[in-house]
Structure 1
Amino acid sequence: MTTATSRISGGRTGIATYRDVLALPGVGSLSLIGFLVRIPASAGPITVTLHVVLGLGQGYAAAGTVGAATTIGMALGAPLLGRLIDRRGLRLVLVLTTCAEVGFWAVAPWLPFPALLVGALLGGLLALPVYSVVRQAIAALVPTARRRPAYALDSMSVELSYILGPAVGTALAVGVSTTAAMAVVGAGYALGGVALWILNPPTRAETPHDGRRETGPVSEWLTPKLVATLLATTAAAAVVFGCELGIVAALQGSGQAGLIGVVIAVWCLSSLAGGYLYGAAHRSRSLYALVAALGLATLPVALGGSWWTFALLLIPAGLACAPSLTASADAVAALAPDRVRGMVTGLQGSSITLGAAFGAPLAGALIDAISPAAAIVTAGLVGVAMAGASALIARR
C-alpha cells in the first residue's frame, strides 16, 4: 500500500480529504487537464449561439435549433465512443474526436446556416468526451472509499469551468468577433485533446488481455439500479436546465438581462460549496433523495423578482446541484463492470444531455404559454416525480 493510499484510508474529513485524493498518483494532473479542457467545452455553446445571432443574422430560435442538433449528436455519440474506448482504448478515440473538433471549429464560422446545422449534429456525435473520460479515469485511479470526494472535486471543477468558459466566449464574440471566438474554442479543444492523449489516463482498473473484449449480455450490467441511476441523472439535468431557462426569461422580461451572469455565478458558487461539503462529509447520501431535494429547493425560485432575490433563492438549489451529480457519478462507477465502464459512463453523459433536451424545451413552452415562474415550478416538480420513480425502479 502506498503512502497516499494509507492516508486516504484513515477517514480524514474537510480539505484534508481533497488533499489526500489529489496526492494519489495521476489524479492531480488529470484534474488540472480536465478543468482546462472543460473551459472550451463550456464556452462552445454560447459561442455558437452568438455566431448564429450576430454572425449569421438569424434569431434565437435558429440558434436553439443548432444547439438541439449538437445535443442529439452528443446523446447518440457518447455511448458509442464509450464502447470504442472499452474495445480499442482511449488514444484512438482522442485522435478521432480531437480531429473532429478541430475540423468543426475551423470551418463552422464560414458555413451557411443549413450546413452549420448538419455540422453541429456531426460535431456532437464526435465531441471530445472529456467529461466521461475524466470520470472513467477517476474510477480507475481512486480507491472506492475515496471516490465520493474525488467526484465532488470533479463536480466543483465543472462549476468553475462554467463560470469561466461562457464569460470568455461571450467577451471574445462580442468584443472581437464570433469568428475569433470560435477559433479560440477550436484551439482550446486541440490543446486539450493533445494533453489528454499525452496523459493517457487509465479508463479501467484492470488491464485487458486484448483490445476486443466483449461487453457481455446487456442484462448482466444494465440492471434496474443502473437504469434508476441514469433516470435520476436525467431528472437532475432537467431541473437545472429548465430552471436556468426560466430565470433567464424572467430577468430578460423584467429588464434585468445585464445581471443574468451575476445570478448564474451565485448559483454556480453555491453548487461549488455544496459539492465541497458533500465530498468532505463522513457519509454518502441517497442519489434519489438528493435529486428530490434539488427539485424541492428549486420551487421557491419561482418567487423571485429582482435579480438579488433570484440569487438568494438559488442558493439552496445550488447546494443540492453538485452533490446530485457527484452521487450520480459515484453510483455509476460502482455499478459499471470494468469491461463496459466506458459505455456506461457514456450512457451517464447521454442521460445528462437528454435531461437538458427535455427540461429546456418544456420550460420554454411553459414560459411562452404561462410564465417563467410556471416553468421553474414545473421543472422542480418533474425532478421530484422522476426521483421518486427512480427510487421505485431501484427497489426491484
Structure 2
Amino acid sequence: MSLALYGRLLGRPGVLRLVLVALVARVPNASLGVIVTLHVVGPLGKGYGQAGIVAAAATLGMAIGAPWRGRLVDRLGLRRALAPSVLIEAAVWTAAPFLSFEALVGAAAVAGLFMVPVFSVVRQSLAVLVPVEEQRTAFALDSVCTELTFMLAPALAVLIATTWSTTAALVSVGIATVGAGGLLMWFDPPTSSAAVLARSAASGEAVDAAPPTGRAFSPALLVVLLAAAAASLVLNGTDVSIIAALVEWDQASSAGWMVALWAGGSLVGGLVYGAGRRSIHPLVLVLALALLTIPAAFADTPLLLALAVVLAGIPCAPALSAITAMLVRIVPEHRRGEVMGWNGSAMTVGAALGAPLCGALIDRYGAGAGFLAAGLIGTVVAAAGLVALRMFRTRARRAAAGDRPAVVVG
C-alpha cells in the first residue's frame, strides 16, 4: 500500500481541480435524503414508509432520466446537457416544502428525471484524464471525496432542519443546486479523449488519455449493474434505518454525525483500497458491504450503533469505486456517458426497492428490521450474482476447450 499513488494522481493536469469542484457540487445530492425523510415524518406527519415512497419516486425519475442525460452529455457536451437540469431541479426543491405529500411524490419524480448528473460526469471525466493503470486509485479517491461530502452535507442539513425548519433546508437545497450546477458548467470538465487532447494541445500540456476498449453491452456489464443495484439497496436501506433508530431513541438531531461516522468508515476503506495494488471484484465487495451491515440491526444504544455503522461503511467506497473502474474498462468511450447513466439507473432501482421496503418494515417492526432487511437482501443478491458469474465463466471455459483440436497420442 502506498499513499504516493494519490500524490502522483493529483499531480496530473485537471485532476485536482476536478476533485475540488466535485466536493462542492455534490453537496445538494448528499443532503437531500435526510432532509426529505425528516420533512415527511415531521411537518407532513407521515411514516417512514411514506418517506420511502418519496425517495422511490425520485429514484424512479433518476432511473428513467440518467441514461437519457448521459446520452445528451455524449452528444451535446456538458454545458448544453446540464442547463435544463439545473433550472428544473432547483425549482422543484425550492417549491417542495409548500406541497402536499401527494404533490411532493410527483415533484420528486420530476426532480429525479432532471437531477444534475454530478456523480457520473465526474467519473466520466476521470476516465479520460487518468490512464488505465491509475484509474482504480482515481475512482477510489473519488469515492473517498464523495464520503467527505456525505460526512459534512447531511450534518449541515440536519442542523438547518432542526435549528430552523425542513422548509429552510429544502429551499437551501434548491439554491445550492443552482450553485453546484453553475460551478460544474463553469469548470466544464472534459468527458471525452478528444476534448482532453484539444485542451492539452491548446495549453501545451501532455495528457495520457485512456483508450476506449470493450463493447457497450455485455454479460460483464449486466454483472456490474447488478452489483450497483445491490449496493444501492443496502446503502439506502441503511440510511433510512439510521434515522429511524435515532428517532426511536429521541435523538433525531444526532442523525447528521451518525451518518458522518458511517461515511467516515467508508472514507478509510476507500483510502486503503485505492492505495493498494490489488483489485477486487465489485460483487465480492458488495457482499462484504451487505454482511457488515447486519450487525447494526442488533445495536440497542447510540454508541453500539456508531460502532456498527463505522464497520458497515468500510466496504462502501471500495465497492462503488470497483464498480466504476470495471465499467470504464468494459465500455467504449463514445458510449460511456450513456452507460454511466445506466449505472445510475441500476443504483436508483436498488434505492427505489430498498428505501420503501426497509421503511415499511421499520414502521412495523422497528429500526433493527430495516438494517436486517438491507443486509440480508444485499447478501442474497450479491451471492447469487457471484454464483451466476462463476457458472458463466465455467461454461465459457468449457466452450473454449471444446473448440480446441484434439491431441492424438501415437
Shorter-chain TM range is 0.7 to 0.9
Alignment of structure 1 residues 329-344 onto 2, 5 Å: 329-344=324-339
- Write the letter of the residue equivalent to 1:391: L
2:271 to 254, 276, 279: 276
Deviates further, 377-386 or 320-329: 377-386
Query: Match of 1:391?
Result: 386
CA distance in 1, matches of 2:310, 2:33: 25
Identity %: 43
Q: Which residue of 2 aligns with 1:116?
A: 104
The question of whether the paired residues in 1 share the 8 Å contact of 2:159 and 2:253 is answered with no
Structure 1 residue 302: Cα displacement:
2.5
Q: CA 1:112 to 1:263, structure 2 compared with 1: closer, same or farther past 3 Å?
A: closer
- Corresponding residue for 2:154? 166
Runs of 5+ consecutive residues of structure 2 not aligned to the other structure: 197-213, 393-410
Find the partner of 1:150 among 127, 138, 149. 138
Query: In the alignment, is the contact (CA less than 8 A) between 2:234 and 2:374 conserved in 1?
Result: yes
Following superposition of structure 1 onto structure 2, how do residues 292-311 of structure 1 map, counting pairs within 5 Å? Answer: 292-311=287-306
Distance in 1 between the 2:240 and 2:165 partners?
25
Structure 1 residue aligned with 2:232? 237
TM-score, normalisation: structure 1? 0.86
- Cα distance change, pair 117–362 in 1 and its aligned pair in 2 (3 A): closer
Q: Partner amino acid for 1:74? A: M
Q: 2:48–2:359: 8 Å Cα contact kept in structure 1? A: no
In the alignment, residue 378 of structure 2 is paired with which amino acid?
G
Structure 2 vs 1, CA of residues 185 and 59 (structure 1 numbering), >3 Å: closer, same or farther? Answer: same
Instruction: Give the one of 35, 41, 65 matched to 1:77.
Output: 65
Separation in 2, partners of 1:82, 1:118: 23
Q: Is the 8 A contact 2:120 2:344 kept in 1?
A: yes
Alignment correspondent of 1:324:
319
- Map 1:242-281 onto structure 2 (within 5 A): 242-281=237-276
Worse-matched range after superposition: 34-43 or 354-363? 354-363
CA distance in 2, matches of 1:152, 1:233: 15
Residue equivalent to 2:201: none
Is the contact made by 2:52 and 2:356 (CA closer than 8 Å) also made in structure 1? no
Which residue of 2 is the match for residue 194 of structure 1?
A: 182
Output one character per residue of 1:280-334: Cα deviation in whole Å (capped at 9) or x when no partner: 0111112121111122222222231111112223333211111111111111111
Q: SS of the counterpart of 1:221?
A: coil
The residue type paired with residue 162 of structure 1 is F
Partner of 2:372: 377
Asked whether the equivalents of residues 50 and 356 of structure 2 are also in contact (C-alpha less than 8 Å), the reply is no
Q: Which residue of 1 aligns with 2:22?
A: 34
Q: 1:363 to 1:228 in 2, by over 3 A?
A: same
What is aligned with 1:363? 358
> Closer, same or farther in 2 for the Cα pair 1:315/1:26, shift >3 Å?
same
Cα gap change, 1:237 to 1:192, in 2 (>3 Å): same
Specify the alignment match of 1:312 in structure 2: 307
- Kindly state the Cα deviation for residue 369 of structure 1 after the two structures are TM-superposed: 4.3
**Aligned mates of 1:54, 1:303 — CA distance in 2:** 26
Contact 1:241 1:359 in 2 (8 A): yes
**Does the CA-based 8 Å contact 1:363-1:379 persist in structure 2?**
yes
Q: Distance in 1 between matches of 2:125 and 2:101?
A: 37
Q: 1:30 to 1:385 in 2, by over 3 A?
A: same
Query: Structure 1 residues 295 and 183 mapped into 2: Cα distance closer, same or farther (>3 Å)?
Result: closer
Conservation of the 8 A alpha-carbon contact between 2:215 and 2:330? no
The counterpart of 2:344, out of the listed 340, 344, 349, is 349
2:218 is matched with: 223
> Against the structure 1 CA distance between its residues 91 and 296, is the aligned structure 2 distance closer, same or farther, given a 3 Å change threshold?
same
Q: Is residue 136 of structure 1 aligned with residue 124 of structure 2?
A: yes
Q: 2:12 aligned with 1:17, yes or no?
A: no
Q: Specify which of 108, 115, 125 is matched with residue 113 of structure 2.
A: 125
Local SS of the residue matching 1:305: coil
Q: Which amino acid aligns with 2:333?
A: D
CA RMSD of aligned residues (A): 2.4
1:88-103 → structure 2 map (5 Å cutoff):
88-103=76-91
Using a 3 Å threshold, how does the CA distance of structure 1 residues 50 and 239 change in structure 2: closer, same or farther? closer
> Which 5+ residue runs of structure 1 have no aligned equivalent?
1-12, 209-218
Counting only pairs closer than 5 Å after superposition, residues 165-184 of structure 1 correspond to structure 2 as 165-184=153-172
CA distance, structure 2, for counterparts of residue 372 and residue 143 of structure 1? 44
- Distance in 1 (CA, whole Å) between partners of 2:105 and 2:285 is 36
Are the equivalent residues in 2 in contact too, given 1:74–1:127 (CA < 8 A)?
Answer: yes
Does the 8 Å contact 1:294/1:320 carry over to 2?
Answer: yes
Shift of 1:262: 3.6
Q: Do the aligned partners of residues 170 and 185 (structure 1) sit closer, same or farther apart at CA in structure 2, a change above 3 Å counting?
A: same
- Looking at structure 2, the residues matched to 60 and 299 of structure 1 have their Cα atoms a distance apart, in angstroms, of 20
Report if the CA contact (8 A) 2:150-2:259 is conserved.
no
1:199 Cα deviation after fit: 1.4
Q: Which amino acid aligns with 1:274?
A: G
Structure-2-length-normalised TM-score: 0.83
Confirm or deny: 8 A CA contact 2:82 2:181 kept in the other structure: yes
| Secondary structure of the corresponding residue to residue 285 of structure 1 | coil
